[in-house]
Amino acid sequence: MLSVDEMKMRVAKYVADMMSNDQVIGVGSGSTSMIFLRFLAERVRRGELRNVKLVPTSSEVEYYSTILGIENLIVQPWQIDNIDVAVDGADEVDPSKNLIKGGGGALTGEKVIDYSAREFIVIVDETKLVEKLGSKVPVPIEVIPRFWRIVKRRVEEMFGGECSLRILEKGKRGPLVTDNGNYLLDWRIILNDDPEKVEVILKSIPGVVESGIFSRRHVSRVIVCKSDGEIVELK
């Protein structure tokens, strides 16, 4: 049986090998996406992948691209008109291919890039598969800092569950600040209702910048590595 890290390696390499010359590729954030980026860099260095452009979803992607020596491939979202494919991980995936993303705090950039791409491919190991969203991880909600308590109360009144401000305990202490200068609420709830509907309602709450619910309507493919090493695609 493969470990979680080994599953991440296999699925990331599988999808990195699918990328083609001349593509504009949106690169997601998080551990599995960084492994995907590493395999892309290896293909570029070997001359197997040419004339690609990489659109970052976060400062993490930009930093790691520099470490890998492929920072020259990075283009900012305002520099391109179309994204051919976005590849990103997920914190949870339900049977309908709805997602929770943003555990690392990059949900807004991820959603902008992933939703803008012609094709959005999700890469996960089998531990990320759940029957209902919220089973293992909270739903991140990016909020304007000065209004976080108002948003917290509003979400809890409308849907139930419990929201808490994400606090850092190491390094910079205090609330986590996103790439956009905002705070994050972690909303603990099992999403028994339609996640697509909840996503729309959350976005309509004043003070909410974005939520970590990603609708199946925007997901093209979910590719999973199982613990026995098999790569499968959710149908």
pLDDT in tens, 108-129: 999 999 999 999 999 999 999 9
pLDDT of residue 110: 98
| Catalytic-role residue among 48, 62, 92, 110 | 110
Topology of domain 139-211 in CATH is Alpha-Beta Plaits (3.30.70)
Task: Considering the chain, tell me which residue range(s) the CATH 3.30.70.260 domain(s) occupy.
Answer: 139-211
If DSSP states are collapsed to H, E and C, what string results for 9-73? Answer: HHHHHHHHCCCCCCCEEEECCCHHHHHHHHHHHHHHHCCCCCCCEEEECCHHHHHHHHHHCCHHH
Q: Which CATH number fits domain 4-130+216-227: 3.40.50.2000, 3.40.50.1360, 3.20.20.70, 3.40.630.10?
A: 3.40.50.1360
Mean of per-residue pLDDT scores for the chain: 97
Task: Considering the chain, tell me which residue range(s) the CATH 3.40.50.1360 domain(s) occupy.
Answer: 4-130+216-227
| Residues of the chain under the 70 pLDDT cut | none
Give backbone dihedrals phi and psi of 113, rounded to 5 degrees, phi first. -75, -45
pLDDT of residue 216: 96
pLDDT of residue 172: 79
62 carries an active-site annotation: no
Give backbone dihedrals phi and psi of 213, rounded to 5 degrees, phi first. -85, 120
pLDDT of residue 171: 77
pLDDT of residue 173: 83
